[in-house]
Structure 1
Amino acid sequence: MMRNSLMATLALALAACSSMPSRTPQEQTVYQAQRITEHRGSDDLLSAGLGLDGLRAMTPPAFADAAAPTALELRRRAIWNNWRGIADLSLTGGYGQVYGSVAGAPGREYSALLRLPQARQPHRVVLQAPDNFDTGKRCLVVTASSGSRGVYGAIAVAGAWALPKGCAVVYTDKGAGTDYFDLDAQVGVGEDGRSVALEQGELAFAPDAPVGASGVAFKHAHSQDNPEADWGRHIKQAAEFGLAMLAQAYPQAAPFRFDNTRVIAVGISNGGGAVLRAAELEGDWLDAVVAGEPNVQVEGAPSLYDYTTEAALLMPCAQLHLPADALPQPPLRAQVEPFWTARCASLKSAGLISGDSPQAQAASAYELMRAKGWTDAALTAGALSTGFDLWRAIAVTYASAYGRFGVAEHPCGFSFAAQNADTRARAATPAERSVWWSDGSGIPPGAGVGLIDGKLSAPDFTFNGLQCLRALNSGSDDAARRVQQGIAQVRAGMPRKGLPIIVVHGRDDGLIPPAFTSDPYVAQAKAAGSAVSYWQVQHAQHFDGFLALPAYGARYVPLLPYVYAALDRVSAQLDGQGAASDREIAAQPRGAGAVSAEQLQLPR
């Protein structure tokens, strides 16, 4: 791998700018790649040379030196982690046989740290330019990571569809990602993923932290940018960078512009929300959009923060009302039931539910959530988020992001750090720091970084902190107003009329319930005259990566094949083969067997 700091060829950039139609000032920016790397032979763009068997391996690719991995080792491990976090790669899951591909895709990567105007922190972008790029049918797929993942967080979504077809892909971490910063050691992450001391070079994230701050900071929570408010602009800037780098990769076919290159945006979860935000931007720069299980908020619907903090408080108790055999495993009912029963008692003492017995209290919590719009399907699939304490992790991070709070300013006193076995905070080791970029999900806990809650107390350990987080949603103090202002800034507008869009959502989604997101978005977009098609998939929940767990794989279908099918559909539509339409897809779970095409009922 060669590490270069290169500026796009000046004459080529000037030629591209002079021949571009006048649209927006950003489209005339001269972009440069900070690093260009080649990936061929035992390495490639799509799987870092691991192939399907290597991605399925239960242990991550090893480092020669655990405390100082190379950029190539970190990239391979990041790709391994992101594939496994998004796709069901289990032997019975059907990936690579029924749908999807990890076929070798040799080519080059162009990487950079870009910054939106007025942003405090950059976002990562990577263009993957495959050797089989079809200059006669030039295609660029632009995508954003799901969740708060690093820049490869959509490789299983966009790369797996685009690269085998000869399309280039440009990724952005949309201002989140895994660029953690060690406040004790003053060490962050460089552009190539390796640990870099603050005084030694440019970092992908350097927080504005008080002197003597301790623990770990990360970009989504501590950038003070509220990145979600700019997700659409992150997508567009990434697309602009992608076009500029295509001109550098294939100079014989330059210039590459929005009016001579097909640009399709795709993403799932937060990435799905990002591409819908991009769809509302002015201009005809996008040709089509596919949004899977999008985190999108529209006027009149509850916000992510609203239903997340609601679920964090109420769902453990409400799930006790469901039959013991209704919840998929994990969580193991016998292990969690004492904690969930304690939550019921806490809710009753706080006056949030009624009932004189755990059973009556669980019924009260259940009826309250049902009245708020939660379905039985969402409550059932939500057991995963309850069992892994995901609701609290999301709420802590988003409270900080929405309020633009800096390090050590969290209104409920939460912080992040490496932890001892007794959960006390401690300084991180070099070996722990070395894997934050490749192994982290972008929202701790995970990858050796823990969530520090100063309000923990028995018997319902997390209740006090959750009450504080919930109060930010409707309170009137300064901290609550800041959070509420940030929430208002992420509300989506309507997409450009005539832009082909397919929204794909599982009806059993328990993390981003369609009743709060896709349902109202599609209804409002259609009422506004937008060309939105809605594919609703029966028996699909939010996390394909967890379908490798037998209880989840038996009862749920993967969502990724429908995202790929939607990409096929909008591509055919752009080729003049008819518009997409709404679909209610009667998919059937595989049970104890393996996934088959007949069960998936994929649209054609």
Structure 2
Amino acid sequence: MRLSRGVPFLAAVLTAVTLTGPAPAVSAAAETGGHCARLERVRVPGAALQRGACLDDLTTTGLTGTRYTDLADQAGLTAAGTKTPSGVPGIQIDGYFPDSSRFNATHGWRHDAQFVIRLPDHWNGGLVVTGAPGNRKQYATDKAISDRVLAQGYAYAATDKGNSGTDFYRDGVRPGDAVAEWNARTTQLTRAARRVAAQRYGHAPRRTYITGISNGGYLTRWQLENHPGLYDGGVDWEGALWTADGPSLLTSLPTAVARTLGSARDEDLYAGGFARGSEFLWPYHENAYWGVTQKIYRAEFDPSYDPRCPGGSAGSSLEEILAPCASDAAYDYGARPASVHRAVARVALTGRIGKPLITLHGDLDALLPKAADSDVYARMIDARGRGALHRYYTVRGGTHVDGLYDTYPDRLRPILPCYRSAFDALTSWVEWGTPPPADHTVGEPADGDVIDSCPLR
């Protein structure tokens, strides 16, 4: 029963959704210079197509059932009882930048490099930018991130990263091209959104923050290492770690696939960084994450290893998509040719962040085990002499997607409330010079609202 509740989360992620619902109420005040003023001036630099709308509520509460969000693409990221704010009027701009790939079918466009930019009427002078987690699209973090930052007064921008879905690796020419595009699209959107804010409000954002979940957390790390001048800081929620010589997904997941296929023991997973105590989550991950994740990222960086699997596609049915490749159980990244390591090096992290960064990671993450990910990245930051710019909080009972809390409320806790506290801590750190708490483990609360409350003290 628990598995049957979990698999639809991934099924929703793997399904391209074209939204055709009705538009929410559009205010006539936009024509009088009040609500949504300057809508006619907003032009997204470099966009091949854009569509602007003046909306009475930019949050998921107001957008549910319309073409301005996609609840299916958000499935599983938040706990069912999560509270979110509503009633934020303003402008939404949907569109895409020029691109040659066609994975994203949202709005019927079948065009990648899609983005959403939201501009609240009551602006606090800031901008929050994110990229989609996993292989999802631009609306994936509407409930987890967009709703709250909009209610706080921030403008918000999100990208599909330039490719999406389980066949994302088919984008590009060289190994690593698809992931490299993620970084370029995030930079592109940040620059464009800053100019859009200036058009709408009369001046550029005074503060710009980068943030994200999973692959969005990786983007946060990479942007603060490579384009720190664009941002004032970031919050990294369990970002994926890519390093040329490991660790990475390609060094931890083969053992998990081998266990799925019966050729590895639990002890082998512990040696690879998987946490003791996370075993109850492994059956779900065996069926929904490990196999598909290993094969599509191996296809991205090392397509010559087994050209038949996944071949031209990760699969045409959900069963085919989720099935592991038998050859991946024996995958040895360290023994692969130098060309594979060079492909990963193109998108690798170094730890050389240039602006404040807060990292959160659940101690029961069974997809990106923190011992092989954020623990390592924290050491990389320290080795680069950037430790003063970093805070790292382990969330006890946290796992990779908060939706699993609904299945295991007695064993897990959502990370989202801790993320919200971390974002507030970051802005206080940047804007008021108030240092966040030192690195520590955020313990499980003895009582109270675990879904919506998580003090970092």
Q: TM-score scaled to structure 2, two decimals?
A: 0.78
Q: 1:598 to 1:234 in 2, by over 3 A?
A: closer
1:494 corresponding residue in structure 2: 351
Give the residue type in structure 1 aligned to 2:247: P
1:31 aligns with 2:46: yes
* Deviation sequence 1:325-374 (CA, Å, 0-9, x none): xxxxxxxxxxxxxxxxxx43xx2xxxxx6xxxxxxxxxxx1222223333
Structure 1 residues 239 and 373, CA, compared in 2 at 3 Å: closer, same or farther?
A: same
For 1:244, the aligned partner's letter is R
SS in 2 for 1:579: coil
> Which residue identity is paired with 1:596?
D
1:132 aligns with 2:147: no
Contact 2:367–2:400 (8 Å) recurs in 1:
yes
CA contact (8 A) 2:242 2:349 kept: yes
1:288 matches 2:233: yes
> 1:168 deviation in Å?
0.3
Size of the alignment, in residue pairs?
A: 409
Structure with the greater alpha carbon radius of gyration:
1
Give per-residue Cα distances to partners, 1:512-541, cap 9 Å, x unaligned.
Answer: 111011001111202322111111111111
The equivalent position to 2:331 in structure 1, one of 465, 471, 475, is 471
- Kept in 1, the 8 Å contact 2:257–2:328? The answer is no
Question: Which residue matches 1:528?
Answer: 384
Q: Identical aligned pairs, as a percentage? A: 21
User: Unaligned stretches of 5+ in structure 1?
Assistant: 3-7, 14-28, 55-60, 62-72, 179-217, 317-342, 348-352, 354-364, 420-444, 454-461
**Which sections of structure 2, spanning at least 5 residues, go unmatched?**
1-22, 27-37, 104-110
The answer to whether the 8 A contact 1:377-1:509 is kept is: no
SS of 2:94's equivalent in the other structure is strand
Separation in structure 2 between the aligned mates of residue 31 and residue 369 of structure 1, nearest angstrom: 46
Deviation at 1:10, TM superposition (A): 13
Sort the Cα spacing of 1:9 and 1:576 in 2 relative to 1 into closer, same or farther, 3 A.
Answer: closer
The answer to whether residue 414 in structure 2 is matched with residue 554 in structure 1 is no
Residues 10 and 565 (structure 1 numbering): CA distance in 2 closer, same or farther, change over 3 Å? closer
* C-alpha separation in 2, matches of 1:596 and 1:273: 29
- Structure 2 CA distance for aligned equivalents of residues 296 and 570 of structure 1: 21
AA aligned to 1:127 is I
Q: Are 1:391 and 2:290 matched, yes or no?
A: yes
Q: Given residue 503 of structure 1, which amino acid in structure 2 is its aligned partner?
A: T
Superposed displacement of residue 414, structure 1 = 6.5
Aligned to 1:402: 301
Question: For residues 136 and 451 of structure 2, what CA distance do their matches in structure 1 show?
Answer: 32
Aligned counterpart in structure 1 of residue 169 of structure 2, from 200, 203, 221: 221
| Preserved CA contact (<8 Å) 1:36 1:108 | no
The TM-score normalised by the length of structure 1 is: 0.60
After TM superposition, give the deviation of residue 32 of structure 1 in Å: 3.8
Tell me how far apart the structure 2 counterparts of residues 237 and 173 of structure 1 sit (CA, whole Å): 12
Shift of 1:305: 1.9
**1:542 aligned residue:** 400
Amino acid at match of 1:46: T
SS at match of 2:148: helix
Change (3 A) 1:409 1:386: closer
- Per-residue deviation at 1:177? 2.5
Matched, 1:368 2:351: no
Indicate if the aligned counterparts of 2:351 and 2:378 stay in contact, CA closer than 8 A: no
Shift of residue 578, structure 1, vs aligned partner: 1.4
Following superposition, the deviation at residue 273 of structure 1 comes to 0.7
CA–CA separation in structure 2 for the residues paired with 1:412 and 1:274? 25
State how far apart, in whole Å, the 2-side matches of 1:155 and 1:452 are: 26
Q: For residues 598 and 115 of structure 1, what CA distance do their matches in structure 2 show?
A: 40
Query: SS state of the match for residue 440, structure 2?
Result: strand
- Whether the 8 Å CA contact 1:232–1:281 is kept in 2: the answer is no
* Partner residue in 2 for 1:415: 313
Paired with 2:448 and 2:401, the residues of 1 have a C-alpha distance of: 16
CA distance in 1, matches of 2:383, 2:315: 47
Q: For residues 600 and 556 of structure 1, do their structure 2 counterparts lie closer, same or farther at Cα, with a shift above 3 Å needed?
A: farther
Note the aligned Cα RMSD (angstroms).
3.5
User: SS in structure 2 opposite 1:571?
Assistant: helix
CA deviations on 1:54-80 (whole Å, 9 max, x unpaired) are 7xxxxxx5xxxxxxxxxxx4444x1x2
Deviations 1:531-557 (A, max 9, x none): 1111111111111022222xx122111
Is the contact made by 1:313 and 1:467 (CA closer than 8 Å) also made in structure 2? no
Cα distance between partner residues in 1 of 2:244 and 2:301: 17
Q: 1:123 to 1:32 in 2, by over 3 A?
A: closer
Which whole-Å CA distance do the structure 1 matches of 2:78 and 2:452 have between them?
A: 18
Change (3 A) 1:159 1:412: closer
Conserved in 2, the CA contact under 8 Å of 1:141 and 1:264?
A: yes
Letter in 2 for 1:399: R
2:167 and 2:314 in contact (8 A); partners too = no
The amino acid of 2:60's aligned partner reads S
Change (3 A) 1:511 1:47: same
